[in-house]
Amino acid sequence: MDLSVFFAGTGGSVPSARRGLPGLLLRRGGDAVLFDCGEGTQRQLVRSVGLTDMSHVFLTHFHADHWLGLPGMLKSFELRDRDKPLTVLGPPGTRKLLESMRFVYGRLKYPFEIRELDPHEAVRFDDWAITPFAVAHRGPVSFGYAIVEDVRRGRFDVELAASLGVAEGPDFGRLERGETVNGVTREQVMGPDRPGRKIVLSGDTSPCEALRVAAHQADVLVCEATFAEEEAERAALTRHSTARQAAEIARDAEVRMLALTHLSSRYAGGEIRDEGRAVFERTVVPRDFDTIDVPFAEKGEPELVRWDAERAPA
Amino acid sequence: MDLSVFFAGTGGSVPSARRGLPGLLLRRGGDAVLFDCGEGTQRQLVRSVGLTDMSHVFLTHFHADHWLGLPGMLKSFELRDRDKPLTVLGPPGTRKLLESMRFVYGRLKYPFEIRELDPHEAVRFDDWAITPFAVAHRGPVSFGYAIVEDVRRGRFDVELAASLGVAEGPDFGRLERGETVNGVTREQVMGPDRPGRKIVLSGDTSPCEALRVAAHQADVLVCEATFAEEEAERAALTRHSTARQAAEIARDAEVRMLALTHLSSRYAGGEIRDEGRAVFERTVVPRDFDTIDVPFAEKGEPELVRWDAERAPA
């Protein structure tokens, strides 16, 4: 099962020539879920992977650079005759925000739901879930999100089972379900459970324990790094993180890869990457339209795949 | 005095990979004025000519694709410590619209004014003016705008005046002001008044007499051509124009150049251009970031200057 995060916009606050405003598309198999939707996100998608059939939009908080692209996108879906349902989720206040913009997108013909989440209220998908957690930003409440796959059952060792005298067929199923067959137990022929993958998104936040805990041994931590250390004071004042602070969290949480995003327009990216790598080596700074592929741990490391402009639609 | 229009976004309703939402920057000498500000306009500017020091934003009407980029841009100006005054102007209702979005951009530290215009209420600049006129679109009121320079006084023929016995110096000034000097009158030594330049923007509209009248002998008519004739019915229903209809207006109004914009995302541009040219030869279809330079009539024809991506900021 493929799992990836696509960066529709990697800037923060103000768009720059290089970086659009926040928007991150999580894709897993046929599922697509968007996190945040800054101004211009719909066009970033149209210019890259297409205005995908995302089923959910999760908002981290209500600063305009994180949601101002949503009313226009809802409207565009309508104009494009969308019929697939869409749910927008976010912290308490999401409904009021969306309703205050209703005059922009009007009554929608496709099924449209707004849902407010409490911290730690998991949103279940088939065999995975998205769970918000409260982080430390300005304003009433800001969320980070943990995307976590269910534990995968261990592998059934067919040859071993046969050699222990269990016949292929219904007996295999009974063994898998935990029954003892011919004195052979499940534990003898099935490997240990394997953890699912975990991707954690910080949202906007100053360094906080909640993020560190949520990110524990994540495959990928996507963390804001609005500033470099030279602006540490400004970061503290505005309750954002520096690249070094983000890298310290990644290191302490023992993640497999750290992706820094939400860069202030004053940074090109190299200085943020270098500051992060000085603390945590597997730090990357995606550009707009880059993707991080996240294989199962036994299959390899998460990998930053640079956008190939040749693939862009004409 | 240079005069040009820069196309920040040439699409309509929904952004496409090629075309952003409406935004048109008028530049004359040191003045810069923006017309409409669809979602993503601020970034279109940042990616091309820079987030210019425009002094005014004129809205044509309140459909979201024409203004949804404004609240974010107002906020960005604040974050960039703008101190130059900004005035937003538009049809009655502009104040209510902008105030309903106040929660996005908050209290601004730079001087900020909202001004509602009646049709034909001219907004004066030094020696030119911008005047709205009501066009025929869906909704309560939609404006087009005429940008008109004052008439230029005729040229003073220095050699002729001297040969008629008027001495260089104060007498020249008296002649220019209309006094008779040594029996010589102003009319003898000054050429006829010369018209200033005129640029007319249609806003969103179905073909209408008001536009035809306003566009009379304009140097450039920037007209919406949301559809081609194949969608004439849809154009009538939504009160938009087809390329042929726009070209007929340009022909009847005897303009020097017609620029078609606000293209539906279903068109690449060539088919719109060809349909327009079949009726009016001097039809162009600017792409995003193209400019039309508008010289005085005696200096040459308006010219479409394609955007040079090499000039784009890194």
43-62 of B, contacting A, C-beta below 8 A = 43, 46-47
> CA B30 to CA B35: how far, in whole Å?
17
Mean pLDDT of B215-233: 98
Cβ neighbours around B102 below 10 Å, total: 12
Is residue A17 less than 8 Å (CB to CB) from chain B?
Answer: yes
Residues B18, A314: C-beta atoms closer than 8 Å: yes
The alpha-carbon gap from B295 to the nearest alpha carbon of chain A, in Å, equals: 30
| Residues B182-206: tens digit of each pLDDT | 889 988 898 888 999 999 999 999 9
pLDDT at A205: 97
CB contact, 8 Å: A138 with chain B?
no
Angle (CA) A241-A301-A259 rounded to 5° is 15
Catalytic residues of B: 65
The residue-averaged pLDDT of B67-84 equals: 96
pLDDT of residue A312: 61
- The answer to whether B100 contacts A103, with C-beta atoms less than 8 Å apart, is yes
Q: How far apart are CA B103 and CA A241, in angstroms?
A: 25
Q: What percent of chain B has pLDDT over 90?
A: 83
Smallest CA–CA distance, residue B60 to chain A, in Å, is: 16
Size (chain A), residues: 314
**Residue B281 in tokens:** 């030869």
Length of chain B: 314
Average pLDDT of A46-75? 95
Token look-up 């309750």 returns A239
For A289-314, what is each residue's pLDDT tens digit? 999 999 999 899 999 999 987 766 54
The mean of the pLDDT values for chain A is 95
Of A39, A80, A100, the CB nearest to B14: A80
Is A42 close to B15, i.e. CB distance below 8 A?
A: yes
pLDDT over 50 at A59, yes or no: yes
Per-residue pLDDT, B218? 98
Give the ipTM of the model, two decimals please: 0.89
A16 has pLDDT over 80: yes
pLDDT of the residue at A311: 67
pLDDT score, position B313: 55
d(CA B204, CA B198): 19
Residue B215 has pLDDT above 50, yes or no: yes
Task: Give the tens place of pLDDT for each residue, A160-204.
Answer: 988 998 888 898 888 888 889 888 998 889 888 899 999 999 999
Confidence band of B308 (pLDDT split at 50, 70, 90): confident
Position B311 confidence tier, pLDDT thresholds 50, 70, 90: low
pLDDT of residue B314: 46
Contact yes or no for B79 and A14 at CB 8 A? yes
pLDDT tier at B14, thresholds 50, 70, 90: very high
Q: Tens of pLDDT along B36-48? A: 999 999 999 999 9
- pLDDT value of position A314: 46
Q: Are residues B314 and A71, on separate chains, in Cβ contact within 8 Å?
A: no
Average pLDDT value for residue range A42-54: 93
Q: Give the model's confidence band at B15: pLDDT under 50 very low, under 70 low, under 90 confident, else very high.
A: very high
Chain B environment of A74 (Cβ under 8 Å): none
Q: What is the DSSP letter of A287?
A: P
> Any chain B CB within 8 A of the CB of A80?
yes
Average pLDDT, chain B: 95
Q: A 95-124 residues with CB below 8 A of B?
A: 100, 103-105
Instruction: Quickly list DSSP for B109-177.
Output: SS-EEEEE--TT--EE-SSEEEEEEEEB-SSS-EEEEEEEEPPBPPPB-HHHHHHTTPPSSHHHHHHHH
Per-residue confidence (pLDDT) for residue B290, from 0 to 100: 97
Does A16 contact chain B (CB < 8 Å)?
A: yes
- Predicted model pTM: 0.92
From edge to edge, which strands make up the β-sheet containing A220-224? A123-124, A128-135, A142-149, A198-201, A220-224, A257-261, A283-284
On chain B, the residues whose CB falls within 8 A of the CB of A21 are 43
Q: Give catalytic residues of A, as residue numbers.
A: 65
pLDDT at B221 over 70: yes
Mean pLDDT value across residues A219-231? 98
Residue A305: CA count within 13 A, CB half-sphere? 14
**How close A71 comes to chain B (CA, Å)?**
9
| Nearest residue, CB atoms, A76 vs list B14, B17, B69 | B14
Residue of B nearest to A41 (CA): B40
pLDDT at residue B178, rounded to an integer: 86
pLDDT tens digits, B59-71: 999 999 999 999 9
Give the integer Cα–Cα distance in Å for B212 and A21. 40
Task: Give the integer Cα–Cα distance in Å for B77 and B75.
Answer: 5
Domains of chain A: 3-152+194-311 (3.60.15.10), 153-192 (no CATH)
> With an 8 Å Cβ cutoff, are B72 and A68 in contact?
yes
Confidence of residue B245 (pLDDT cuts 50, 70, 90): very high
- Band of residue A70 on the pLDDT scale cut at 50, 70, 90: very high
Strand-strand pairing, A128-135 and A283-284: unpaired
* Most A CBs within 10 Å, among B39, B45, B51, to test the A interface: B39
